[in-house]
Amino acid sequence: MRLFVGLGNPGAKYARNRHNAGFMALDRIAADHGFAPWRSRFQGELTEGRIGGGKHLRIKARSFEIRSGQPVGEAARYFDIAPEDITVFQDELDLAPGKVRVKRGGGHAGHNGLRSLHAHLGPDYRRVRIGIGHPGHKDRVSGYVLSDFAKAEIALIDDVMRGISDGADALAAGDDGRFMNAVALRVAPPRASPGTAPDHRSGDRPRAAPPVEKERPAAAKPAPAVPEPATDRRSPLQRLADRFR
């Protein structure tokens, strides 16, 4: 059994905040993969389902992100899930919006949610770092992460979440490379090369476009043949006589 954890703050007020990227990822996965409805447990919201043939749990803390380690730790101990089998979805200031990276172990880099998880789990869990960009100065970070994604970012963030969901099977199997490819295909799909057209019957993969047959100019019609005049072999006297007949 594996545990997927989303970091964020509970309540509609924070639902579209940059700080709630982890919650957004879990909601997308749960919806796309037919997980059971969310239910209250371990001071959080829990759902379960199957990905890639294995059973997976999803948990979102009802406490604020700064205390998210407690419900996650309780769930991990109850189901006997080792930190190596826990994947945490988090917002990442040091990555631009649209960028996603997978990291195993390491420090919390001042992230309050990770700091709390370190205290209850240690550092050996895996993180999916979802880029939200940086406001440019550390004094603006708090207000920035607790603000909603800009309108211009919404379509991109939606693609990121769909890509994460597309790659959930690979992530569950520990295939980080295939997971990253799934995200990349959503965020920056390959462009069709010149002379190709999308094939909607084969997953929108480009296929060779049919050759365009150039119209040939119509052949000129031959001019009607003009009969050559017959040679008049009569003598002048005969021609004069013929006129008076």
- Residues carrying an active site annotation: 19
Q: End-to-end distance of the chain based on CA atoms, in angstroms? A: 124
Pairing, β 86-92 against β 126-131: parallel
Say how far apart CA 24 and CA 33 lie, in whole Å.
Answer: 14
Alpha carbon separation from 39 to 12, 44, 47, 69, 159 (Å, rounded): 17, 8, 6, 18, 27
Specify the DSSP class assigned to residue 17: B
Longest dimension (CA), the chain: 137
Any idea what the Cα angle at residue 136 is, between residues 130 and 141, rounded to 5°? 65
3-state secondary structure of 216: coil
Cβ–Cβ < 8 Å for 111, 69: no
Helix residue spans in the chain (DSSP H): 21-32, 69-78, 112-121, 141-145, 151-166, 168-172, 176-187, 236-243
Any idea what the Cα angle at residue 185 is, between residues 180 and 190, rounded to 5°? 135
Cβ–Cβ < 8 Å for 24, 165: no
